[in-house]
Structure 1
Amino acid sequence: MPELPEVETVVKSLKKRVLNLIINKVEIFYPKIIKTNISVLDFQKQIENRKISDIQRIAKYIIFVLEDKVLISHLRMEGKWFLYDKNEVYDKKHVLATFHLSNNKILNYHDTRKFGTFDLQDLNDYKSNNPIKKLGPEPFVLEANSNYLYEKMSKSTRHIKTMLLDQTIIAGIGNIYADEILFDAKISPLITGNFLKPKDYQRIIESSKKILKKSIELGGTTIDSYQPEQGIDGKFQNELKVHTRKGKKCYECGNEIIKLKVNGRGTYYCKTCQY
C-alpha cells in the first residue's frame, strides 16, 4: 500500500511530466471511483479543458490543482498513475480512468483492487472539507519537543501502533513505516498510549521524521505488488530493519524478529530492542 513517501515520489514524478498540460478529455470506466456527489458527466465537464496548474501532496493524498478546482486522488491499496504517449500501446486491464492531455499524452489511473478514490472540489475551500479536513498533522510539522502526541495519545488504552495508523491523529504513517518508526524509537508496538512518557512521544516524532525523510530520498518502498510510479522502483525496502523480516536476526541485538497482529495489522518488531 502506498504511504507518504511513495505518494511523494509519485507527485514529484508527475510534476515533471504533466504540469501545465491541458486535460482535453476524461474517460471514467469505473464510476464508483468518484466520491463527489455528482454524475460522471458532470465530473467530466468540470475537469475537461482545465490546465494542471500544480500537483501537491497532503498526507497520502495527491492533489491535482486544476485552476480553480482540485482533483483529490487517494491511491489506497494499489492505485497507480501511468503516463503514455497518445499512440503508445498499453495494457488497458485495470485502467479505471483515462485523462487525455495536451502534448499528445495519456494519463491513466490504474487500480487492480478498485479501492482508490477521486474527489472533485473547489480550490478555495477543499482543505476545510473531507477528506482533507479530518486529517491530523504530518510528522514534519511537529516539533521534536511538541506535546501534541502526548496530549492526543497519553490517556488512551489503544496500542501505540494502532494510534500511529490513525490518520486523524497524525497523517501519512502507514503499516510499513509505523513498524520502522517504532523500532527506531525503541518502543514496542504493543504498549498502550497511557504507559508512554513525554520523552517517548518525542522519540516517536524524531523517528517519524527520520524514517520518512530517508524513504522519500530513496523513492519510497517497493514491496509486494506496489511500485511507487511507472518506471520507478523505491529503494527504501533495502533499509527495512523489521518490516517483512519475520524470523530473521535483529540488526541491533541478533535476536529473532517477531510477527504478530496488532488490531488486525501485520506487525514486525524485536522484543529485546523494543520495550
Structure 2
Amino acid sequence: MPELPEVETVVRTLNSKVKNLTIKKVKITYPNLIKTDISIEDFENKIKGRKIDNISRIAKHIIFELQDLVLISHLRMEGKWFVFDSQTVYDTKHVEAIFELSDNKMMVYSDTRKFGTFHLQEKATFKSQNPINKVGPEPFNSALNGQYLLDIMSRSNKHIKTVLLDQTKISGIGNIYADEILFDSKIHPEKRASALNLEDYERILKSSKKILKRSIDLGGSTIDTYQPEQGIDGKFQNELKVHTRKNKPCYECGRIIEKIKVNGRGTYFCKECQFLY
C-alpha cells in the first residue's frame, strides 16, 4: 500500500504534469469508485470543464483542487495514477477512471484490487467531512510533539505497532515505515503503547520525521506494485533496515532479523536492538 512518502511522490509527479490543465471530459468505468452520494453522470458533469488548480495531500489522501470543488483520491492497496499523451495506447484492464485534459493529455486511474476511492466535495467544507475529518495529524505537523503522542497513544493497551498504524491518531504511517520507525527508535513492535514514556514517544516522533523525509527525498519505496510514475522506481527500499529483511543480519548488531505477525500485519524487527522489556 502506498504510504505517506509514496503519496507525496505521486502528488509531486501529478503537479508537474497536469497542474493548470483543464478537464475536458471524464469517464468513470467502475461506479463503486465513487463514494459521494451522486450519480455517475452528475459526477462526470460536475468535473467537466474545471481547471486543476493544484494537487495537494492530506496524509495518504490526494486532493485535486478544482476551483470550488475538491476531488479526494485514496489509493488504498494498489491504486495508481498515470498521465499519457492523448494518442497513447495503454492497458485498460484495470482502469476505473479516464480524464481527458487540455494540452492533448489524459489522466488515468487504475486499480488492480479496486479498493481505491473518490470523494467529490465542496472545497470550503471538505476538511470537516468524511474521510478527511477522521484523519489524525501527520508527523510533520508543527503542533505535534512527544507529549501529544503520549496523551493520545498511552491510553491504549494495544501494541505500539498497531497504534502507529491507526490513522485517526497519527496519519501517514503504514506497515513499512512503522517497522523502520520502531527499529530506529529502538522500540519493540509488541511493546504496549501504555507502557511507553514521554522519552519513548519523543524518539518515535523524531524517527518518524527522519525516515519519512528521507523516503520522500528518494521517491518512496518501490515494493510490490507501487511506482511513483510509469517506468520510474522509488529508491528508499534500498535503505530499509528491517522491513523485508527476514533472516538477514541486523545492520546494527548482526543478529538475525525476525518476522512476526502483529495484529495480522507482517512485522520485521531485531530482538537485540528492540528489546521488549
1:75 aligns with 2:68: no
Q: TM-score, normalised by structure 1?
A: 0.98
Structure 1 regions of 5+ residues with no counterpart?
A: none
1:118 aligns with 2:118: yes
The 5-angstrom pairing of residues 237-256 of structure 1 reads 237-256=237-256
Match of 2:161 in 1: 161
The 5-angstrom pairing of residues 1-275 of structure 1 reads 1-142=1-142, 145-275=145-275
Q: Name the aligned partner's letter for residue 96 of structure 1.
A: E
Instruction: Name the CA distance, whole Å, in 2 between partners of 1:261 and 1:70.
Output: 38
Q: What do residues 216-272 of structure 1 show as CA deviations (whole Å, max 9, x unaligned)?
A: 000000011221222321000000000000000000000010001000000000010
Q: Say which SS state the counterpart of residue 51 (structure 1) adopts.
A: coil
Q: Name the aligned partner's letter for residue 184 of structure 2.
A: D
Q: What do residues 18-43 of structure 1 show as CA deviations (whole Å, max 9, x unaligned)?
A: 00101010001100000001010110
Q: What do residues 138-162 of structure 1 show as CA deviations (whole Å, max 9, x unaligned)?
A: 0011567531010011121100000
Instruction: Name the CA distance, whole Å, in 1 between partners of 2:148 and 2:210.
Output: 18
Q: Name the aligned partner's letter for residue 169 of structure 2.
A: I
Q: What do residues 136-190 of structure 1 show as CA deviations (whole Å, max 9, x unaligned)?
A: 0000115675310100111211000000000000000000000000000000000
Q: Say which SS state the counterpart of residue 84 (structure 1) adopts.
A: strand
Q: Name the aligned partner's letter for residue 47 of structure 2.
A: I
Please tell me whether the aligned partners of residues 13 and 228 of structure 2 are also in contact (alpha carbons under 8 angstroms): no
- CA displacement at 1:6 relative to structure 2: 0.3
Indicate the larger mover: 226-235 or 161-170.
226-235
Please tell me whether the aligned partners of residues 4 and 59 of structure 2 are also in contact (alpha carbons under 8 angstroms): yes
Q: Name the aligned partner's letter for residue 157 of structure 1.
A: N
Q: Say which SS state the counterpart of residue 224 (structure 2) adopts.
A: coil
Q: Say which SS state the counterpart of residue 140 (structure 1) adopts.
A: coil
Change (3 A) 1:145 1:263: same
Q: Name the aligned partner's letter for residue 229 of structure 1.
A: E
Q: Name the aligned partner's letter for residue 83 of structure 1.
A: V
Q: Say which SS state the counterpart of residue 133 (structure 2) adopts.
A: coil
Aligned residues: 275
Please tell me whether the aligned partners of residues 27 and 44 of structure 1 are also in contact (alpha carbons under 8 angstroms): yes
Structure 2 regions of 5+ residues with no counterpart?
A: none
Any runs of at least 4 consecutive aligned residues in structure 1 with deviations exceeding 6 A, and if so which?
none
Instruction: Name the CA distance, whole Å, in 1 between partners of 2:218 and 2:131.
Output: 28
Instruction: Name the CA distance, whole Å, in 1 between partners of 2:87 and 2:154.
Output: 57
Instruction: Name the CA distance, whole Å, in 1 between partners of 2:115 and 2:54.
Output: 24
Instruction: Name the CA distance, whole Å, in 2 between partners of 1:65 and 1:219.
Output: 23
Instruction: Name the CA distance, whole Å, in 2 between partners of 1:42 and 1:140.
Output: 37
Instruction: Name the CA distance, whole Å, in 1 between partners of 2:146 and 2:173.
Output: 18
Q: TM-score, normalised by structure 2?
A: 0.98
Change (3 A) 1:250 1:144: farther
- CA displacement at 1:7 relative to structure 2: 0.4
Please tell me whether the aligned partners of residues 146 and 199 of structure 2 are also in contact (alpha carbons under 8 angstroms): no
Please tell me whether the aligned partners of residues 137 and 144 of structure 2 are also in contact (alpha carbons under 8 angstroms): no
RMSD of Structure 2 on Structure 1 (CA): 1.0
Change (3 A) 1:102 1:144: closer
